[in-house]
Amino acid sequence: MNEPIKVMTIFGTRPEAIKMAPIILKMKQEPDRFDPITVVTGQHREMLQQVLHVFNIHPDCNLNIMRKNQTLSEITTTVINKLDPILDQHRPDIILVHGDTTSTLSAAISAFYHKIPLGHVEAGLRTWNKYSPYPEEMNRQLTDTLADVYFAPTPLSRHNLLIEHHSDKHIYVTGNTAIDALKKTVDPNYHHAVLDKIDDKHRIILLTMHRRENQGVPMLRTFKAIKQELAKHSDTEVIYPVHLSPAVQKAAHQEFDSVDRVHLIPPLDVVDFHNICAKSYFIMTDSGGVQEEAPSLGKPVLVLRNQTERPEGVKAGTLKLVGTDPKRVKAGMEMLLDDPKAYHKMSTAKNPYGDGKAANRILSAIYKEINGDK
Ligand code: UD1
Ligand code: UDP
C-alpha cells in the first residue's frame, strides 16, 4: 500500500478557489490516497473568503498578501518570499496551481525553486497575444513552461501545449473543474433579495466586468452602450455584482448609480452567482470562468473582450465576442433581445467545457504520475 500523496494546492483569487474546490473536496474523501495541504496566498480577501466559506474549506496556511490597489510586482515578490518557508516545511509530493493569475505564476516559480513537481490545472489556454488578457496570457504560458503535469480542459488546450513541445505523456484532457463546481450549486428553488426588486416579466441581463485591460475608457464606453440599450428595451434589467477592485467600483458607480433598472450589488458568493446566472436571460462578461459556466446553464454570453482563450465556446455558438466597441456591444444586445431565433440558437448550443467529472480525472492522473500504475 502506497503512502497518501501529499498534494499542496496553492491559489489566491476567487476563480482559482472555485475551480480548485472540487479537487480539494474529492481529496478529502480519499484519505488513503491523498493528503491535501491547502495554501492560499490571499491575493483576494473577501472574494476568496466567500468561496472558502461556501465549500467549507479551511486553508492550512494563508499568506494574507492583499493590499489595496496592489501592483503585479508586489503580488509576485510577496508570494514567492512567503512561500519559501512553507514549501521547506511541508515538502509536498506535488504542487497544484490553477489558471493564470499572478498567484498561479508566483507559486509555479516557487515550486521550481524548491524542485517540487508542478501540476497545472486549466493548462494550455492561449490567445497568443502577450497583452490580452494582461497579465494572464503570460502568466499561463510561463506556468506551463515550469509545469511537469498538465490538466488541459479540452482537446484544443492539449493541442496548444503540444505546439509548444510539452510532453504528451504528461498531458491529460480532463474537462474544466468549473463544471464540477456548478453541479453542487444550482438549485431550482433558489431565491435572492435582488430578485424581489425585479419585475417578473422583465428579462435579466447579468453583467460582470473587471479585467485590467478593460479598466478606464473601454469599461466606461461599454457601460454607456448598455445604458442606451436599456433605454430602448423597457423590459430589461441589469444585475451587476461589482468586483471589489477600486478602479472597477469607481467606474460602475459613476455610470450606473443613477440608472433605475441597473442593480449594482456586492460580489455574490458562488452559489448566488450560479443561481442568478440560471435565472438570467443572458450574460455580458469579460470574465474567463463565466464563459465556461454560463453555457452549461443554457445562457448566451456576450464576451466583452476582443480575444478569448476559450474559442471552443465561440465555435460551439454559446459565446459571441463583442469587445468594448459600443457599436458591437449594442448590436450583440439587440441580437439577443430582438431576434428570438438567434437567441434560441445560442442558448441551445452544447457546452464544450466538460461533464462535471474533471476532478476525478485529475486525481487519477496525479496518482498515476506519482505512483506509476500501482
Ligand atoms: C485577479 C487576477 C485576474 C482574475 C481576477 C479574478 C491577477 C493579476 N489578476 O484580478 O487574472 O481574473 O483576479 O477576479 O492575478 N480587492 C479587494 N478584495 C478582494 C479582492 C480584491 O478589496 O477580495 C481589491 C483590492 O484593492 C485589490 C484589487 O481589488 O488591490 C485588485 O485585485 P487583484 O487581485 O490585484 O486583481 P484582480 O483585478 O482582482
Ligand atoms: N463569480 C462569483 N461571484 C460574482 C461573480 C463571479 O462567484 O459576483 C464566479 C463565477 O461563477 C466564476 C468566477 O467567479 O466561477 C469567475 O471569476 P472572475 O470573473 O473574478 O475571474 P476570471 O474567471 O475572469 O479569472
- b/e map 306-342, b = 16+ CB within 10 Å: bebbbbbbbebbbbbbbbbebebbbebbebbbeeeeb
Domains of the chain by start residue, with CATH: 5-175+357-371 (3.40.50.2000), 193-347 (3.40.50.2000)
Q: Which of 16, 122, 229, 293 is catalytic?
A: 122
pTM of the model: 0.97
CB 99 within 8 A of CB 121: yes
Give the closest residue (by CA) to ligand 2 atom 6.
273
Distance from C-alpha of 9 to C-alpha of 28, rounded to nearest angstrom: 13
Say if CB 316 and CB 280 are below 8 A apart: no
Grouping H, G, I as helix, E, B as strand and the rest as coil, residue 44 is coil
CA-based end-to-end distance of the chain: 9
pLDDT in tens, the chain (374 residues): 789 999 999 999 999 999 999 999 999 999 999 999 999 999 999 999 999 999 999 999 999 999 998 999 999 999 999 999 999 999 999 999 999 999 999 999 999 999 999 999 999 999 999 999 999 999 999 999 999 999 999 999 999 999 999 999 999 999 999 999 888 888 989 999 999 999 999 999 999 999 999 999 999 999 999 999 999 999 999 999 999 999 999 999 999 999 999 999 999 999 999 999 999 999 999 999 999 999 889 999 999 999 999 999 999 999 999 999 999 999 999 999 999 999 999 999 888 998 999 999 999 999 999 998 65
CA distances from 85 to 147, 167, 170, 279, 313 (A): 21, 31, 29, 46, 41
CA 175 – CA 158 distance, rounded (Å)? 11
Ligand nearest to the CA of 46: 1
- Ligand 2 atom with the smallest distance to the CA of 19 is 15
Residues with CB under 6 A from ligand 1: 13-15, 43-48, 68-70, 72, 100-102, 135-136, 210, 212, 244-246
